[in-house]
């Protein structure tokens, strides 16, 4: 069989601690036709020295920016400038694959079903400076093949404790041509990895591979875990862009609006509430101020955000850590 070439793209910055595990997990894939492209955003740790150990492998290419150009421009260079494959995969430098057949399984499903993207289940790892805190499965009950109607109905919902708000990074194998047509990673804004996945799922059929295909780490130095609330809050604008994108495709406005609102709720719960409470504290005033800001994007989601179990947990955790630990322990029993 003539397998199409996959460009596995790894943007990196000061993550030499994790990068080796990431690269090794890619290079042991049993897929016969892939390249690994590392774009180093001017790291000042041992990344360059580490990469010298991989350059004897003709599947590996390494580029280093003379200055740090920011994460999104670095991703764009990988996709629009360096990738030479028909299909692509973007994997974060601190994550790694755990299924050695991941690339092959993805392409097999793409070719069998004539798809432009396949996403997959994973394991999540929460770590601190001392090591592992918690590991959990992220493998929601998604059909092997889904269409636009399925995502409009289910995207952003919580199924068996897991939000259907999946990440483009790590889990997706996709058509590079289609990603460019969908203006992947434009504009330079927080959350663009979620935006490009929404553009894919709203414009065609999507494949899903059950099981654990990669590990997604959450740790104190994650880009997405930055305590910069203003930066994270700006990510809400992408839901307006996704909504407008859907309207241009003549998708039902009422369904698009529900899809938009569910995803705003999930995004707020995951990325905004903890940052807001850390920055502004927990008080009637801070909650009222949050409502005013959120209402600029949608006036109908505040109650859903505030009454979610994750937000309530965040309030208790930030306000009374002893009570939070007690309740968490009691719920496990």
pLDDT for the residue numbered 51? 98
Instruction: Name which of 62-66, 129-133, 146-150, 159-163 the model is least confident about.
Output: 129-133
Residue 242: exposed, middle, or buried by beta-carbon count in 10 A (0-12, 13-18, 19+)?
Answer: buried
H helix runs in the chain, sequence order: 16-27, 47-52, 71-76, 102-113, 148-154, 176-181, 192-201, 229-233, 237-248, 253-267, 273-280, 284-295, 302-306, 309-319, 321-332
- Is pLDDT at 333 greater than 70 in this prediction? no
| 58-85: average pLDDT | 97
Q: Where are the domains of the chain?
A: 6-218, 229-237+244-332
pLDDT for the residue numbered 327? 46
d(CA 192, CA 186): 7
Measure Cα distances from 120 to 16, 103, 127, 179 in Å: 26, 11, 22, 18
169 φ, ψ to 5°?
A: -65, 150
pLDDT for the residue numbered 228? 64
- Is pLDDT at 200 greater than 60 in this prediction? yes
The answer to whether the CB of 122 falls within 8 A of the CB of 139 is yes
Cis, peptide link before residue 187, omega less than 30° from 0 = yes
Mean pLDDT of the residues in the chain: 90
CATH of 6-218, one of 3.40.50.1370, 3.20.20.70, 3.90.550.10, 3.40.50.1010: 3.90.550.10
Which residues lie across from 97 on neighbouring strands?
214
pLDDT for the residue numbered 325? 58
pLDDT tens digits, 204-251: 999 999 999 999 888 776 655 444 667 788 899 999 999 999 999 999
pLDDT tens digits, 135-168: 888 888 899 999 999 999 999 998 877 889 887 8
Pick the more confident residue, 216 or 177. Answer: 177
């Amino acid at each position: 069989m003539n397998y199409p070439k996959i460009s596995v793209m790894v943007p990196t910055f000061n993550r030499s601690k994790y990068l080796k595990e990431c690269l090794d997990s890619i290079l042991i894939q049993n897929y016969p036709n892939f390249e690994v492209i590392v774009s180093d955003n001017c790291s000042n740790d041992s990344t360059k020295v580490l990469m010298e150990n991989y350059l004897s492998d003709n599947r590996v290419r390494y580029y280093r920016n003379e200055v740090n150009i920011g994460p999104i421009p670095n991703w764009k260079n990988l996709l629009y400038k360096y990738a030479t494959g028909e299909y692509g995969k973007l994997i974060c430098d601190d994550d790694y694959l755990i299924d050695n057949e991941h690339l092959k399984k993805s392409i097999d499903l793409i070719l069998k079903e004539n798809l432009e993207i396949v996403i997959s289940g994973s394991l999540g790892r929460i770590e601190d400076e001392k090591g592992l805190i918690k590991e959990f499965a992220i493998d929601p009950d998604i059909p092997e093949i889904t269409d636009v109607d399925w995502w409009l109905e289910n995207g952003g919902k919580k199924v068996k404790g897991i939000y259907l708000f999946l990440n483009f990074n790590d889990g997706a194998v996709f058509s590079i041509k289609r990603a460019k047509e969908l203006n992947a990673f434009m504009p330079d804004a927080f959350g663009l990895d979620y935006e490009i996945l929404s553009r894919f799922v709203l414009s065609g059929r999507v494949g899903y591979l059950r099981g654990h295909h990669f590990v997604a780490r959450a740790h104190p130095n994650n880009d997405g875990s930055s305590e910069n609330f203003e930066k994270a809050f700006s990510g809400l604008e992408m839901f307006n862009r996704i909504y407008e994108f859907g309207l241009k495709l003549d998708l039902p406005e009422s369904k698009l609006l529900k899809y938009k609102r569910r995803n705003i709720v999930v995004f707020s719960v995951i990325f905004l509430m903890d940052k807001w409470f850390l920055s502004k504290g927990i008080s009637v005033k801070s909650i009222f101020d949050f409502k005013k800001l959120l209402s600029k994007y949608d006036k109908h989601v505040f109650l859903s955000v505030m009454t979610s179990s994750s937000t309530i947990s965040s309030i208790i955790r930030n306000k009374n850590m002893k009570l939070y630990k007690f309740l968490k322990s009691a719920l496990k029993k």
